[in-house]
Structure 1
C-alpha cells in the first residue's frame, strides 16, 4: 500500500490553482495573441511571427494543438524575459513553466510517478506470492486479497498521475482526481477491515455491507463532482478520510508493537518475515533498524511522509526548469511502498503465529 493517505492528498492540493499571476501578465496575453495570430491563422501576419516555432509532428502525437503550443511557447518566452530582468519566475494557470521534453509537460513528475507505479507492481507480486503460500480459506489470505485490491487501485492511480503530468487535459485531470479519491477511500477501507478483523469468516456479512457502502459513497462522490466540480468539497473529503486512516494505522501499529514484544518465542518464529522487512528498510537507507521496534514501522514511515510534505508546502520554481517541489514529493513517496507490504505480511504472520500458539 502506498503508506500514507496524505501522499494522495497533497498531490491533489497542488493542482488546485486555476489561475496564477503569470497568465494574467499583459506581456503573456500579448504574446499569446500574437502567436495564435502568427501560427494558428495563416491568413494573418504579425511583426512577431519570427519568434514562434511551428508545431512539430512529435508534439501532435501527444495531442498538442496550435493554441496549446502557443500557450507553452509564450510561457517560456515570458519566463526567460523575467529571468533576464532578475524578476521572480511566475506560475501560469497554477503550474510552473517547465521545459517540455519530447512533448511531456512535467518530465520528472512523470518519471517519479512511473517509479511509484513500479514499486507498487513489485509489491503486488510480493503479496500475491505470500497469498499463494497460505492454505485455502485462511483468514490471512482473505486480508491479503484486500491488500492486492488496494495495490491495483494504487497502480491505476499512479498511471493516471503519469498521464496527467504528460499532458494536462480536463479528462486526465478528472481521472487523476477520481483515482486519487479511490485510493484514499480504499486505504481507509483496508485499515478498517484489518483493525476490526472484518476479513475473518465470521464477519463476512459485515464486510460485504461495508464494501457496498464504500462503493456507493465513491460513486456518489464522483457523480457529485461531475455535476459540479467543487475543489473545496473534494479537499475536505480527502482531509477527513486521510486523518481517519492515519489515526487507525497509528492505533494498529502500536497494538502490533505490543503484541510482538510480548513473547520472544513468538518473535523467533517470525525471523524470516522480520528479515524481509529489515532487508527492505536497509535498501532504502534505514540500516540497523531495531527489531524490537518493528511494529512501529508505519509510524516511522509516516514521519518520513510528513517530512517530505515540505516539498509541497514550500514549493519552489523548478530547478533547471524541470524539477519542482511536486516532482520531489513524488520522489519521496517512492520509498514507503518498498517496505510497507512486507511489513503487512509480517503483521499478518504475527497474528497467525499468535493464534497457533494460543490454540496449542
Structure 2
C-alpha cells in the first residue's frame, strides 16, 4: 500500500533532475545520427526492421506492420522509432563500455534489456508479484471476515470497514496491473492509465485513512468527508487525460495526497492502542528506508535490475505485512463489538 504513496513523494525528488535536464544519451550526436540513419535505411548495423522501410515520399511501404501479423504476436512488436532507439542505444552502450564509460539515460530512462518485447522485465515481474500479493491479502481478508469471524444476524460482518477495504483491494489490483503494463510498454496510453490508477488509489487511500483513523462509521459523515476528495480526484484524472498531462502538477497532487495520508497513519499508529500498530510502523519505516532507492538512483545491473525495480521488490513483503495488519484490525474491531454486546 504505502509503496505507491512513497513513490509519489520520491518521484518528485528523484525525477526532478530528469525533467529539468536533458538525458545525456539522447543528446549524444552519435546516437542522433544512428536514429536518423535507421529511419532512413531501416537498419542499425546488420540488423534491419521490415516495418522501417520507407518510400521516397517518407511513407511506410506496404501496410502498417501491426496489421501484418496475428494479434497474439503484436504485443512483442515495436514501432520503427522505438526499435531504432533501442538498438542505437545498445550500440552506443557497447561503445561506452569499451571506453570504460558507465551507462547513461536515454529519453529519461536507463538502458534496459528487452525480454520477449518487455521494456523493463524486472519491474514488470515485481509489479505482477505485488499484484499477486494484494490479491492474496484481499482473499485472506475476505475469508477471515465472512467465514472465520462471527457475523451479524443479517449475515453482515461486524467489521464496519470491510466494504472499504474491498474497494481498496480492487483499486490496488488495478494500479499494479497498469504498473506492469506501463513497464512492459511505455506509450502515451499506458502512461496515462498508470498515472490515473495511482492518483485514484492515492485519493481513495487518503479517504480510507481519514475514515479509519477518526473511526468514522456514520454513512452520512463518510459521504461528507469523501465527496470533496472524490470530486477533486475525478477532476484531476480528467485533466491529465483529456487536457494536458502536466508532470509537475501531477507530482504535486500526488505528493500532497501521499504526505497527508502517511501523516494520518503515522499519527494514528502513535496515539492509538491498537495491538498490531507495530506492523503499521514497520511498513512506514521500511517504506521510508526503501525510498532511498528512488533518491539514489543507479543504472540497471545487467540491464535488468535498477533502483526502481529493487524498490518494487521490497514492497512485496511490505504488502504482506500491510494486509496482515488489516486482518488484525478486523479481528480487533470484531472482538470489541462482541464484547460490547455481552
Change (3 A) 1:184 1:87: same
Change (3 A) 1:225 1:49: closer
In structure 1, C-alpha distance between the alignment counterparts of 2:157 and 2:263, rounded to whole Å: 24
Alignment partner, residue 112 of structure 2: 98
Change (3 A) 1:225 1:182: same
Q: How does 1:315-334 map to 2 (within 5 A)?
A: 315-334=297-316
Contact 1:250 1:299 in 2 (8 A): yes
Alignment partner, residue 187 of structure 1: 205
In structure 1, C-alpha distance between the alignment counterparts of 2:14 and 2:172, rounded to whole Å: 19
Q: CA deviation at 1:251?
A: 2.3
**CA offsets 1:211-249 (integer angstroms, 9 cap, x no match):** 333321111111222312222211111111111111111
Q: How does 1:53-68 map to 2 (within 5 A)?
A: 53-54=48-49, 60-68=74-82
In structure 2, C-alpha distance between the alignment counterparts of 1:109 and 1:170, rounded to whole Å: 18
1:335 equivalent in alignment to 2:322: no
In structure 2, C-alpha distance between the alignment counterparts of 1:68 and 1:121, rounded to whole Å: 34
1:29 equivalent in alignment to 2:32: yes
Alignment partner, residue 272 of structure 1: none
Change (3 A) 1:49 1:345: closer
TM-score by length of 1: 0.80
Q: Which of 268, 292, 295 is matched with 1:252 structurally?
A: 268
Say which is worse superposed, 333-342 or 61-70, in terms of deviation. Answer: 61-70
Contact 1:113 1:159 in 2 (8 A): yes
Say which is worse superposed, 130-139 or 49-58, in terms of deviation. Answer: 49-58
Q: CA deviation at 1:23?
A: 0.3
**CA offsets 1:280-339 (integer angstroms, 9 cap, x no match):** xxxxxxxxxxxxxx3221112111111111211111111011111111111011111112
Q: List runs of 5+ in structure 1 lacking aligned partners.
A: 40-47, 261-293
Alignment partner, residue 239 of structure 1: 255
Contact 1:157 1:183 in 2 (8 A): yes
Contact 2:203 2:230 in 1 (8 A): no
Contact 1:14 1:312 in 2 (8 A): yes
Say which is worse superposed, 234-243 or 25-34, in terms of deviation. Answer: 234-243
Q: CA deviation at 1:188?
A: 0.7
In structure 1, C-alpha distance between the alignment counterparts of 2:13 and 2:170, rounded to whole Å: 23
Change (3 A) 1:64 1:3: closer
Alignment partner, residue 125 of structure 1: 139
Say which is worse superposed, 296-305 or 12-21, in terms of deviation. Answer: 12-21
In structure 1, C-alpha distance between the alignment counterparts of 2:173 and 2:265, rounded to whole Å: 21
Please state whether the residue corresponding to 1:334 is helix, strand or coil. Answer: helix
Alignment partner, residue 238 of structure 2: 223
TM-score by length of 2: 0.84
Q: Which of 125, 129, 144 is matched with 1:115 structurally?
A: 129
Report how many aligned residue pairs link the two structures.
315
Across the aligned residues of Structure 1 and Structure 2, the Cα RMSD in angstroms comes to 2.4
Q: Which of 19, 27, 47 is matched with 1:52 structurally?
A: 47
**CA offsets 1:168-187 (integer angstroms, 9 cap, x no match):** 10110111111111111111
Q: List runs of 5+ in structure 2 lacking aligned partners.
A: 52-68
Alignment partner, residue 6 of structure 2: 6
